[in-house]
Structure 1
């Protein structure tokens, strides 16, 4: 948009109406001169962003931001960190020149109000009156959702160049943080789309790899873990630096027959939130709808128009609710290739959730960008008009959290509501469906406020637990999310126990209490059905994800106050200090309980040392070690590796004066093939990241190579993650993406083309295993039980016309929850694990043996009829007695079946050992058989 003289005239007239000397008046008076030099997108890019058949890439976007930063005093460009591929992730801070000159002051106000610590109500009002509303608006989290990235280019330019009264008011009242969530993805998608000279051939449905280096679309499930560098960068801005009151996360695509989904969302919302954040979310959402409608932009839908809810913590907009920020999600149609809005009759009648339907019509990218502009303006306008209230209410929510964490409090959950319902008099229990049950109010406290069910005042993570480095990794995930963590400088007592110095404490009397509870306490998802007695209504994402459970952290819930000498942790924690104990010269023994012991093992193998697993309990230097402890014979190659490991990895190495008397399983370097496919498989991408973190050597392997046979020539282990073997029947539905022709595929990607077929993969894998190879099959890759002659079969099935199908959802449904499983940790596949473990289960299969079956080991299984720990489960009793993790011998090799996703999204550190053990144990066992 170019600057015209009429804009200067309008600015001058507007300035005359404002108080003399105000920042807004000064800005309006100068508007005619401050915007003339701002380069319009059409004058910078090869084509104007928003044009049909055109996508600007991130390199061009980055260069444009740098150009703008040198041309305007309304924007400051900030480097917020590097991406997985090493690009700079930029954030454009946009506001009035007067505000930009005082950014540190306004950021300090935002921090003090958001954290609420030491700020009383009177001071909160004073700070809110002085402060500026902070609004985060991002783009490109999912890189194939190209509307958001192209639209942000236009939106930033308009905010820098327009001088109408509304824009000037917004700039004066607000500080807007425009950021890009996935630079690597924007570069890949745009370049892939633009690779053809002929516009009619342009597409990005056939991308050759994941558009975020490791996790693709799943990058929006990483918020509470912050494993990916981009997520860590974003979280740092949101919860440790700028504390925006509104977080607007833009996506596509919209519902069929509509243009855009805009909040509010459908239920359930997570019961840990402060209700203020939900009330204000609804306000902003309807302000967005009303602005669209007022401008004649039809086709926005809300609530029932789409499946989006506010339960899960892993998404960028939803993690915001746990931090008292208003998280917005929009999903809009469109893209660079013109399309049409289809005629969907059900969308044509106005209703509360779709107030202004849209007729079918042709649709262009600029149409979507015009809607994005309106939605962005609506959000910023809301923030401007409600500036003081937004700032005060984020304080109010933080203060509410501090107050609740400082006294006895209880959280209402679906389980407690069901207790109340069960207490209804019998003559009400058979009332007509939908009628309200009434319960004696005197029962309220007895059924919902039991003393032992109080919310904790604090959680203690004791020093010296079995896997302290993983406990530190858990604490770092909290710190990345702005949670305050303290460490004990001296021993202290709490809850009837004494804890050593070095233990950590996470108090709930802090502003981000909702997030803390959500990471430690079980998720109690409502029993949500399509209608009373009907099938379950699918949640938007998983229902149980308690991070402390997934990571296997030992912690105690402290229901009363905690006194002692504590120091607040200033930043991310390094691994705890390790040590070498003893003076023995024969070698070292290291326990198997620490995940970091696998990094040590891999380093030893690469150095040419000879580590081995001890197959029985052993006592060394007063330590009683369980089976699987690692024996490292003394050698010049091993010594420096051990010394570095105890320094960097938090390990305890016991120097022994003699080798163990128990049996040893010598380990060997392994060649791992990680199965992937053209376009990239997200479960394989997460696993790739995990293998890199723990320093396993591997390489991707694709269908053509797998089906060619002679796999032992290149691999000792082949790892199939969930989805790597195309699922069928009882194992789910294949969702593989489109593939281009070989001719249309760049040479470097042609080897990745193809799909696995049962007819070719079964004999190749069978021969590989029987010849001494190892196959690890996770999730629905357990379908190898259908393809190979093995003693186990899927347990959660029904027969339909002679074919095995998954159980119907009314009888069995676990849509991503945490369950409790038993473990035989005397078996190599279970080494290092406790006797009971929390395991993530997402519509998974378990196994049952055939009558008289032998040559398999039951490593992990569900023993109880109620194994649910966190989330939602229907028919969980069907799991009792079924096998979750199995060790199957075939010829000289091994097939390891892991029905649950033991490495899901790189979060479930507590079950990584099943995978890591399998990678090392299978080849070692085969070598022992030679």
Structure 2
């Protein structure tokens, strides 16, 4: 029923936005596809504009060739010199220092008036103070703004090679469609991963033999820190490239369509294009999804009209619209269309396989393609058609796109000014449970008011963060900055105010829900209630596309109040990143300084002190400092000229207070020392290790990256104090040795440059593990996170996995029907008296993702974080969460003279959960520390 209704609705859309100039041609061969290419593709070049084939050493899009970013950049500069249809602008620099360029393409008249069109786009997107009449006038005057990117995932090589052809054709085409679309639209072509493009293309082209070229054995991540996860950073905004793109999307240009191009397509097909599968995130305006469906359907129809078979939608792939964090999904929470395509292809020709199940036409795969040899040039032509379809849609629906982004923004503003309620899966279940009888599925209509539209379910008018109520104020300000970098309006109260009966001081941060980007605000503050999707009715759960629960305010440990009633407050709106209130030196004592352990920034100060040869201590019990009581773990810094200089220079910018006291606090303490950290990685780069590298750099921890071969050499205590194994750094170890967890081996040493050969190898049970055991027993510290926790059993740790079952004497993991908890946030009990948990609250939110928890089997293991309820789920989705009760998520284990810290919770995942960073940072310093007492 859903498919037929959708097909009928979309047929109407096609009739309303007709662009087809030729009947659909069923084409299954390369020759037929080529013959169906519109005539404007081969329009003679405008004089003086260099064609790609005349600029590059080999034409981009031909087999066994990849142009690198330097060449791409040079070509853009050439085009900008030769054509009056393009304006080339930098929109920032990358993590490796390359310039990110965007080519703004439109008619010469539009390019001469860009500031006006940019202002129109801003006014309509933000909606504030714009009446409906003015919105319609602006929509009539304005131009549709479309962002089209390339190169995000650098081993997906089609998009940057195709983009040079798209640009050339738009800059030289003289056909009616090109001229019309340039008049109606402003197209922003942005490259979102120059560093990866350069790395991958150079690696591929290093082999002089075209037939021997490959980019599958690249030695490191293709984004400096995050690799493929550069497409999971959009709401957190940690990386330079993300900050640059977000600024264009949500603070400067406000495109109504964001076209994010990927590969590879579904097997036996060519390309995935929306519509997407469920679930639909209930926070964003439904108009954004119906419009996304329109654009996607137009793209399918244009491919088919040109005889280009093999596109699929919806059930053809796993992509949904739930998770807010990707280049194409974050736009939904900003009232913009987000288009994702996933196409096959690359420099090496590939065979489309015959999969009988995809050969029968259906709504989700309307024109199957027969097996054939596929070339990069074929992908280039499909890319051109898809780009053309999006641009033509924007042109023909210019006023509707512009007006509708205002309409959605105004919907958010109006909803935030009145009582409103969201319908969530839990509310649906509650209505069913409350119903006394049903009639063909219908229940008493009054349940909508008695179960859903209740006072406690009312949506907030605002969220207020008061500075004096934060365990880690700089982290709370960092959270607010993620909102600002996503275009959200944040205010700082200029005087005290009262809301919901509570008095808030001046300086409190106010995030109103009555704003255009309300969907993003709600998604970042409120819990996600993920639908319980199953593979079939009554079947096992269907894995979400990425995370199910990710509420950033919870991950970052922000204390906030949700204001549900009307209130009056005035404030200053932040124009750019906020700065945390300056920290202070409090008191006049001369013996030294006492500093709280709650703020993550205290580790920056600690690392600066250690680097200067000063040895701070962690006090093992609560400390009274002036009028404040600091919890166990407070940092003691003995006075010296150098210590005083470092403390006084650091506390202001870091936003932490230091208490100058007249004597050292009494009691047991841990004396810290400089630590030598080895962060384990593998050839090719592990994303979790890359994220950790970024995090360690931000907090000024000294470290070096270490590979399996170096671990296997032994004598580890002479080189390291701490070894960190993040998720994915170890293969699936067992008693007999190891096996890889995913297909594909590492390259042979003689096939790669000598400088990378010592990166090869794997962690093994027979060689590496004995070296690690000796390291720990001799006083070293080993930290394991996620699936690296499998090392614990091989090291003889007195813990056993809890989320398992025993059948016929064999221990196996639970099925997804027996336990299922995809990336979600849980509430856990923490033991803050354990040094591993210094600075944590006794109850804290932790991120967990289908991992493992533990039961303790020996006295030398201590639970630091455990689940103490049947219902720990805070945000996301969990089935049989009761299995977590009385199991441990973080364990502190003595190993001879050293330590093993096991993290079943993902305490640093993607650099998001600031609220649990301390559990990791403490582990880096705690193991090597020594006891002291006054």
Bin of the TM-score, shorter chain as denominator length: over 0.9
Per the alignment, residue 722 of structure 1 pairs with 727
Contact 2:730 2:762 in 1 (8 A): no
What is the alpha-carbon distance in structure 2 between the residues aligned to residue 510 and residue 655 of structure 1?
44
Contact 2:668 2:932 in 1 (8 A): no
Aligned with 2:679 (options 674, 677, 691): 674
Per the alignment, residue 765 of structure 1 pairs with 772
Aligned residue pairs total 889
Alignment of 1:797 onto 2:804:
yes
Aligned with 2:795 (options 780, 788, 797): 788
**Superposition map of 1:476-625 within 5 A:** 476-625=481-630
Contact 1:677 1:755 in 2 (8 A): yes
What is the alpha-carbon distance in structure 1 between the residues aligned to residue 163 and residue 430 of structure 2?
49
Summarize the Cα distance change of 1:801–1:715 in structure 2 as closer, same or farther, 3 Å threshold.
Answer: farther
Contact 1:840 1:902 in 2 (8 A): yes
Alignment of 1:230 onto 2:241:
yes
Alignment of 1:78 onto 2:96:
no
Contact 2:437 2:443 in 1 (8 A): no
Summarize the Cα distance change of 1:787–1:71 in structure 2 as closer, same or farther, 3 Å threshold.
Answer: same
Alignment of 1:442 onto 2:446:
yes
Summarize the Cα distance change of 1:733–1:751 in structure 2 as closer, same or farther, 3 Å threshold.
Answer: closer
**Superposition map of 1:129-140 within 5 A:** 129-140=140-151
Following superposition, the deviation at residue 741 of structure 1 comes to: 1.0
Per the alignment, residue 111 of structure 1 pairs with 122
Per the alignment, residue 29 of structure 2 pairs with none
Aligned with 2:697 (options 686, 692, 697): 692
Following superposition, the deviation at residue 732 of structure 1 comes to: 12
Aligned with 2:399 (options 379, 388, 393): 388
Aligned with 2:831 (options 824, 835, 846): 824
Following superposition, the deviation at residue 724 of structure 1 comes to: 1.4
1:155-174 Cα shifts (integer Å, max 9, x gaps) = 11111111111000000000
Following superposition, the deviation at residue 789 of structure 1 comes to: 1.8
Q: Once structures 1 and 2 are overlaid, which stretch shifts more, 745-754 or 512-521?
A: 745-754
1:379-424 Cα shifts (integer Å, max 9, x gaps) = 0000000000000000000000000001100011000011122234
Following superposition, the deviation at residue 459 of structure 1 comes to: 0.2
Following superposition, the deviation at residue 928 of structure 1 comes to: 6.9
What is the alpha-carbon distance in structure 2 between the residues aligned to residue 805 and residue 391 of structure 1?
55
Secondary structure of the 1:570 match is coil
Give RMSD over aligned pairs. Answer: 1.6
Aligned with 1:810 (options 800, 810, 817): 817
Per the alignment, residue 17 of structure 1 pairs with none
Per the alignment, residue 288 of structure 2 pairs with 277
Contact 1:816 1:840 in 2 (8 A): yes
Alignment of 1:641 onto 2:646:
yes
Following superposition, the deviation at residue 785 of structure 1 comes to: 2.7
Alignment of 1:923 onto 2:913:
no
Following superposition, the deviation at residue 35 of structure 1 comes to: 2.9
Contact 1:423 1:439 in 2 (8 A): no
What is the alpha-carbon distance in structure 2 between the residues aligned to residue 66 and residue 562 of structure 1?
53
Aligned with 1:848 (options 841, 845, 855): 855
Following superposition, the deviation at residue 799 of structure 1 comes to: 2.6
Secondary structure of the 2:772 match is helix
Q: Once structures 1 and 2 are overlaid, which stretch shifts more, 640-649 or 40-49?
A: 640-649
For structure 1, the 5+ residue unaligned runs are 1-30, 429-435
Aligned with 1:894 (options 883, 894, 899): 899
Per the alignment, residue 26 of structure 1 pairs with none
What is the alpha-carbon distance in structure 2 between the residues aligned to residue 641 and residue 562 of structure 1?
43
Contact 1:272 1:322 in 2 (8 A): yes
What is the alpha-carbon distance in structure 2 between the residues aligned to residue 728 and residue 425 of structure 1?
54
Following superposition, the deviation at residue 661 of structure 1 comes to: 1.2
For structure 2, the 5+ residue unaligned runs are 1-41
What is the alpha-carbon distance in structure 1 between the residues aligned to residue 649 and residue 488 of structure 2?
31
Per the alignment, residue 717 of structure 2 pairs with 712
Alignment of 1:882 onto 2:882:
no
Aligned with 1:836 (options 827, 830, 843): 843
Following superposition, the deviation at residue 53 of structure 1 comes to: 0.1
Alignment of 1:220 onto 2:220:
no
Q: Once structures 1 and 2 are overlaid, which stretch shifts more, 416-425 or 78-87?
A: 416-425
Per the alignment, residue 89 of structure 1 pairs with 100
What is the alpha-carbon distance in structure 2 between the residues aligned to residue 787 and residue 262 of structure 1?
46
What is the alpha-carbon distance in structure 2 between the residues aligned to residue 625 and residue 508 of structure 1?
35
Aligned with 2:456 (options 446, 452, 456): 452
Per the alignment, residue 663 of structure 2 pairs with 658
What is the alpha-carbon distance in structure 2 between the residues aligned to residue 729 and residue 498 of structure 1?
59
Per the alignment, residue 157 of structure 2 pairs with 146
**TM-score of the superposed pair, with normalisation by structure 2:** 0.94
Summarize the Cα distance change of 1:528–1:728 in structure 2 as closer, same or farther, 3 Å threshold.
Answer: farther
Alignment of 1:871 onto 2:882:
no
1:637-679 Cα shifts (integer Å, max 9, x gaps) = 2112111211211110111111111222110000000010000
Contact 1:592 1:832 in 2 (8 A): yes
Secondary structure of the 1:759 match is coil
Q: Once structures 1 and 2 are overlaid, which stretch shifts more, 496-505 or 225-234?
A: 496-505
What is the alpha-carbon distance in structure 1 between the residues aligned to residue 44 and residue 421 of structure 2?
58
What is the alpha-carbon distance in structure 1 between the residues aligned to residue 610 and residue 289 of structure 2?
53
